[in-house]
Amino acid sequence: MKFSYYPGCTLKTKAKELDLYGRKSLEKLGVDFEEVKEWQCCGAVYPVSRDEVATKLSAVRTLASAKQENAKLLTLCSACHHVLKRVNDDMKNDDNIRLKANNYLGLDEPYQGETEVVHYLELLRDYVGFDKIKEAVVNPLKGQKIAAYYGCLLLRPSETLKFDNPENPSIIEEFIKAIGATPVKYPFSNECCGAYVSATNKEIAVKKSTKVTDSAVANGAEKIVTACPLCMYNLTENGNKKVPVYYFTELLAEALGVKE
């Protein structure tokens, strides 16, 4: 099975090493992947308004490019994943958006939502399997108490994303177990960190991120792991600063022994 790998803008620039950890881990796990050719930004936010078509086009281009490669589209960042999966759903189910987007793009063959969008974590769960990962781990993160942070974009709306149980998710906890650490349960793993509002209203982001980090610490977390660069930024910069926040690929690479 082939995957078209879509690192996304943040992980390609600001957080290069997180992308690198992701790639090295994929290689170690024997996943067949190739970076999407000439990929463009997904748009960062899913355009909710039903009349927005132009803002969805870059996502459609990426989806169509994966279709051409006959591959599943593998995403690393929660926001990219969210946007690509929802736009894909529109291309599959919204006649108006599909027609207009295809009219704009003029592809050789109209794109109709054929590509399957897979998040890196879904790949680990559904294609590699957490048992396999457990076997591949060389440096188990034994004794580490890690809290999973899902945020919003991976889970909601569950009707479209179909990622995990939206109110009681478990995939990152399973991941934490697979790399040898102990997951810490706390009630705000799917509560918003403050998202993009932190750029214009830091106060809100501080409130939200502090609530999350405080709860994680109160429940005994020594680390927080997340799958979204924006969540990572907010929890780190606007949280209580008492708990380090990691991107999941870093912990994965460390456990697999491919982190330099």
Residues lying near other proteins in the complex (CB under 8 A) are found at 8-10, 13-15, 41, 43-45, 47-52, 55, 77, 79, 151-152, 155-159, 165-168, 185, 187-188, 191-192, 194-201, 204, 207-208, 215, 218, 229-230, 232-233, 236-237
Task: Identify which of residues 129 and 187 has a Cβ nearer to other proteins in the complex.
Answer: 187
Structural element, H or E, at residue 153: none
> How far is C-alpha 219 from the chain's CA centre?
24
CA dihedral 250, 154, 34, 17 (to 10 degrees): -20
Q: For other proteins, which is the closer residue by CB, 13 or 70?
A: 13
Here the tokens at position 8 are 């996304």
The count of residues in the chain is 260
**How far apart (Å, rounded) are the C-alpha atoms in residues 89 and 92?**
5
Cβ atoms of 34 and 4 closer than 8 Å: yes
Q: How far is the CB of 148 from other proteins (least distance, A)?
A: 14
CB of 146 to other proteins, least distance (A): 19
Q: Report the nearest approach of other proteins to the CB of residue 109 (Å).
A: 27
CB of residue 42 to other proteins, shortest distance in Å: 9
**How far apart are CB 128 and other proteins at their closest, in Å?**
26
Nearer to other proteins, 108 or 167 (CB): 167
Please tell me whether residue 204 adopts helix, strand or coil conformation.
helix
Given a contact cutoff of 8 angstroms between Cβ atoms, the answer to whether 140 and 255 are in contact is: yes
* Angstrom distance (rounded) from CA 85 to CA 91: 10
Please state the three-class secondary structure of 11-24 as a single string.
HHCCCHHHHHHHHH
SS3 of 225, please? strand
Q: Please say whether the beta carbons of 233 and 226 come within 8 A.
A: no
Residue 37: left (phi > 0), alpha (psi -120 to 50), or beta? beta
Nearer to other proteins, 10 or 115 (CB): 10
* Partners of residue 156 on adjacent β-strands: none
The least distance separating other proteins from the CB of residue 147, rounded to whole angstroms, comes to 14
What is the nearest approach in angstroms of other proteins to the Cβ of residue 32? 27
